[in-house]
Structure 1
Amino acid sequence: MIGYLSGKVKFLFDDGCILDVNGVGYKIFVDAQTRQTLTVDTAAEFFIHTAVREDAINLFGMANRATFELFELLLTVSGVGAKGALAIVSKISAADFARAVARQEIKTLTRLPGVGKKSAERILLELKDKVRGQGAGGREQEIFGSARDEASEALEALGYTAAEISAAFQKAPANITTEQLIKFALKELNRFA
């Protein structure tokens, strides 16, 4: 399975591009925000979701990790396919989507392409425990819990206590990767050592 590609944009389409990676051209469907930034003969890199069907293998790419994580999360909802998830992430940011789910805003979701009332209700039901919106005091928290959870497990394996880890995460910026969060926390933890 392909998870990441980096190369040079050779051709552009309305919904994607062909990316030359060491002489091999990959057709990648991209979200609208990513598509707007692409130009021919420039370097580009994408987080890739590989969708394998009986009649095709399609690559879906996003330049932004939060958008990619939202795309993959949407695929866990029954009835949402890759093309539908791509249409959704093209119209709403990961942070706005997280807030809509956290606040159970069905109207926000029904404004998205391909999302009717029943689909919106299903998305809210299936994702309410997987998505977090704004935290106390309006500070934007990490949208998807997995990065924080994975970083916590890694730091606990290194011998840090849950209290130490929680204190280190307090100043962490929003929307960072697991690796970045671990590095940030280790710097914070070493200050107090």
Structure 2
Amino acid sequence: MIAYIKGNLTYIQEDSVVVDVHGIGYEIVCSNPFVFQSSLNQEVLIHTFHYVREDTQVLYGFKNEEEKQLFIKLISVSGIGPKGALAILGAVDVAGFISAIEREDDKFLTSFPGVGKKTARQIILDLKGKLTTMLMISDQMDVESPDTTSEGLLEAEEALKALGYTEREIKTVIPELRKENTTNTDEIIRKALALLMKHS
């Protein structure tokens, strides 16, 4: 099993990154490759899960061990495959997702593509009570009002930098973006672009 890849980040693509390790390029599929934008052409360590089936082998990559462990747990749930698990990871932070499971928040869980009521109930049945300890989420985490937008906002900031916007420009629209009631990175980026065009 390949636990992580450490090497030079050479490419960032729409759904993956390529890391050069001693002349070998490892393509790693990620939920949002642009979170690694600041490490382009530098040494990077990406936590990985080597997914192997009869007809496919894929390396999935994550920013930290918590994301990786949540991915592994998600694909163990009936009805959720790697693509579905990545879609969830790309739209919410780990703590927010765990607290939704603990609250048995079906409505929140069914907001993800491919997750219907039956799958949402299966997620809760299989994972409730099993993630808070495993992922070392703080005991002080507010289960009733998790900060579910912070991760999406951070990823949106990285994507905006990749599009050429300066940190100063991005900071001017952050307060407005924080008011957006969404965890979807793409939606946050679209709103940010609209605000930046208005401010220019």
TM-score by length of structure 2 reads 0.63
Partner of 2:96 in structure 1? 96
Larger mean CA deviation between 57-66 and 126-135 belongs to 126-135
Alignment-mate amino acid for residue 89 of structure 1: L
Deviation (angstroms), 1:135: 7.8
Structure number with the bigger relative contact order (C-alpha 8 A, sep ≥ 6) is 2
Q: Which residue of 2 aligns with 1:36?
A: 35
- Looking at structure 1, the residues matched to 141 and 93 of structure 2 have their Cα atoms a distance apart, in angstroms, of 13
Moved over 6 A (4+): 133-136
Q: How do residues 1-193 of structure 1 correspond to structure 2 at under 5 angstroms? A: 1-32=1-32, 34-38=33-37, 40-132=40-132, 139-140=140-141
The alpha-carbon deviation at position 35 of structure 1 amounts to: 2.8
| In structure 2, distance between residues paired with 1:56 and 1:78 | 19
- How far apart in 1 are the matches of 2:30 and 2:85? 11
Other structure's SS at 1:90 match: helix
CA distance in 2: counterparts of 1:122 and 1:74, whole angstroms:
10
SS at match of 1:31: coil
Provide the rounded CA distance (Å) in 1 between the counterparts of 2:44 and 2:138.
Answer: 33
Cα contact 2:101–2:127 (8 A) shared by 1: yes
Query: SS in structure 1 opposite 2:8?
Result: strand
The one-letter amino acid of 1:5's match is I
Q: Distance in 1 between matches of 2:138 and 2:82?
A: 30
Contact preservation (8 Å) 1:31, 1:87? yes
1:11/1:135 Cα in 2 relative to 1: closer, same or farther (>3 Å)?
closer
Which structure has the greater CA radius of gyration? 1
Deviation of 1:111 after TM superposition, in Å, equals 0.9
Residues paired across the two proteins, number: 138
State the 1:76 CA deviation. 1.7
Structure 2 unaligned regions, length at least 5? 143-200
Offset at residue 36 of structure 1 (A): 2.8
Superposition deviation, residue 78 in structure 1: 1.5
Runs of at least 5 residues in structure 1 that lack an aligned partner in the other structure = 142-193
> 2 CA distance for matches of 1:102 and 1:91?
18
Amino acid at match of 1:35: F
8 Å contact 2:78–2:119 — kept in the other structure? no
Letter in 1 for 2:46: F
- Taking structure 1 as the reference length, what is the TM-score of the superposition? 0.65
CA-atom RMSD in angstroms: 2.1
Q: For 1:73 and 1:135, how far apart are their aligned partners in 2? A: 19
Q: Deviations over 1:68-127 (max 9, x none)?
A: 121111122122111211111111111001100000001111111221111111111111
Any conservation in 2 of the 1:102–1:131 contact (CA below 8 Å)?
A: no
Structure 1 CA distance for aligned equivalents of residues 107 and 138 of structure 2: 22
Distance in 1, matches of 2:115 and 2:9, equals: 31
